[in-house]
Structure 1
Amino acid sequence: MSGQNSTEWHLGTLLREARLARHLTQTAAAERAGISRTLWQQLETGSRPDGRPVNPKRDTLRAVAAAVDLTERETLEAAGHDPSDHDISRPGRPLASLAEARDLLSRLNDRQRQAVVDMIRAFHDPDPDLTAEPFRQDATLTPPDQPE
């Protein structure tokens, strides 16, 4: 599907609603996505200045999804892409969007969340003396809906 007009271009409605819900201007949302305001505007309207439909690349769709906390799946679907065609095993492709990671983290209890944060910090700033044992120990905590 390509953006021929606003009633057919579901991505535009999705992006506009998500952007407005976060009180972002097109410029601010575009900056968060690392794209131009002009491209963001085209994604919302579904067409280019010459009237041709916009046909965004998957990398662009991933970036705009993350910018307004949408899932990659809903963004791909709204743009007319089949999310199952998305090969997440390719190098450089995230396995989860920031919105999905936030959602997963919100389901954890405090100890689980801290274990995940500590593990991410260990990846970012590796300590050669650190073993996996502290993470393994915290990985078997009670489900988030039960008290610790």
Structure 2
Amino acid sequence: MPRQNTIVLVYRDEIEQFAMLMNQGLPLDTLIHLTFKKDEEIITYLKEGMSLQEIFTLNQKKLYFKYLRILSGKLNLSDALDCVNKIEKSSNTFFETLLKKISYPFFLLIFAFFMILFFSDYVLVQMKDYISNRMVFVFI
């Protein structure tokens, strides 16, 4: 079995450009030459019988391409690309809102931790002399 090439053929931004230009009436080979850096290799793979979905996901490890591989089995290429972009957008907005909502409580937690650390290391050590006196201890 020959060793597979681990260098990717296409990048995400190239696929997004391809998706924008896909329904503009350009021939496929012209569209490939316009959007991809490794256009000759892609055309060679197409002539060998590989589909565009297989070429796009060849040697790809990122989640975007895994989604594309899964969705391209059930949908056509343009619908799969639209769906993957919507999934990525909703995922990003979910994490952004999650970070916005937990940032303030996280800040308060860290602030309270350092306040407790400060009081236990500095203030209580300074008050040790006062606490050792029984009258002040009863008063406190």
User: Which range, TM-score by smaller chain?
Assistant: under 0.3
TM-score normalized with structure 1 length:
0.25
Larger proportion of helix: 2
TM-score normalized with structure 2 length:
0.26
RCO higher in structure (CA 8 A, sep ≥6) = 1
